[in-house]
Structure 1
């Protein structure tokens, strides 16, 4: 008798649950966990957890160690620099693609809402809310760019950089300049200025990457 197929909801649920815990450092970098521990954590059977771990390994977040479970992969400073270099190259292209499409006001509205929420969050010193709004902005950008492969590559790097963002959230200067840059990108997209939007975003991403790397080095964070 063939085994019953694993329900995609169980598989996807296990993947989402484990990935979020890794990104939020609830499963910390360098940590090693038995498969049964993760099964208990997700509340599903072994098969969807195994399939979820294979996906996470392909994304560079874990290493499956036969007979020893799984290890959460830390990122070295050199890894982080590579990630920021890739983002500084690919994300401006995504921005230019969005601007070239000349999206209407309905498609631009989530950008405006994210910018307003980022500004409001900073006004009340709620950095976690600022980070959520910032993530909403970037996710909407990737949804609108129209290039699934580009979006997939950016998302993989974005996920890997997420841990560093959370580590440094309260160590960095208040990101008021970031909010202004996000709004300027939206203005350029609204005008259909693809090259202008690309250049504003490139400077934004390069500045953010330098800032993050300086914080990591200053605080002696060799691996994250």
Structure 2
């Protein structure tokens, strides 16, 4: 790996993390000058990093000019959840069939950390997803779902701020973990579908909030 490629990869990782963590909010206009000062690299490296992030769907053209952090449309979110509704139950089924006892116990412990009103819920759910995707032993499936999670990062951050939603989600995760603990792939997949249906409804509500913030 050349030094230039190593620098570009680090810039991409840093900017992607800033977007996913919410340091760069949806709708935020991005300028090469600002990002050059933020990352300490050349404008050429920043420009190439932005092209990669645009290909990932995390950055888009601004209605005025230049680029901005992507603001997903309702249609895009609907499409993402249509795909998740097919892929995530598959990941759960594979996790039941392939995960170790240690991974199952780890997933259960993380699920217990979900708390209504908890400020760290997004980080908890991110760790839950990482364990689930790792335990399904299918890197391609994990890559596809990981990309979808990145596309709705901002919506998840808004959704998990709702105490009512997280109280319901905690119960949904408990049902999922119970089925996984019994190693019942069909029951676990059904629990995943119920969770996704509720999560989709919550995220579509969060869309209204996001659109107001982006205006």
Q: What TM-score comes out, normalization by structure 2 length?
A: 0.85
Q: State the shift of 1:193 in Å.
A: 1.2
Residue 3 of structure 2 corresponds to 5
Give the structure 1 partner of residue 123 of structure 2.
Answer: 132
Matched, 1:59 2:50: no
1:70 alignment counterpart: 67
Correspondence for 2:211: 221
Q: Which segments of structure 1 move beyond 6 Å, counting only runs of 4 or more?
A: none
Query: What is the root-mean-square deviation in Å for CA atoms of aligned residues?
Result: 2.5
- How many residue pairs align between the two structures? 211
Name which of 140, 157, 168 aligns with 1:149. 140
Please give the TM-score of this superposition, normalised by the length of structure 1.
0.81
> How far does the alpha carbon of each residue in 1:31-82 deviate from its partner, in whole angstroms, 9 at most, with x for none?
33222221111122334433322321121111368xx653322111121121
Shift in Å, 1:174 = 4.3
Segment of structure 1 superposing worse, 49-58 or 193-202? 49-58
Match of 1:31? 28
Q: Which runs of 5+ in 1 are unaligned?
A: none
- Gaps of at least 5 residues in structure 2 are none
User: Which aligned pairs between 1:15-30 and structure 2 lie closer than 5 A?
Assistant: 15-30=12-27
Contact 2:160/2:166, CA 8 A, preserved across alignment: no
Taking the aligned partners of 2:90 and 2:38, their CA distance within structure 1 comes to 39
Q: Deviations over 1:133-173 (max 9, x none)?
A: 11110111111112222111111111111111223333462
Quote the offset at 1:83 in angstroms.
1.4
1:99 aligns with 2:99: no
Tell me if structure 1 keeps the 8 A contact 2:155–2:206: no
Change (3 A) 1:63 1:130: closer
Mean Cα displacement is larger for which, 168-177 or 89-98?
168-177
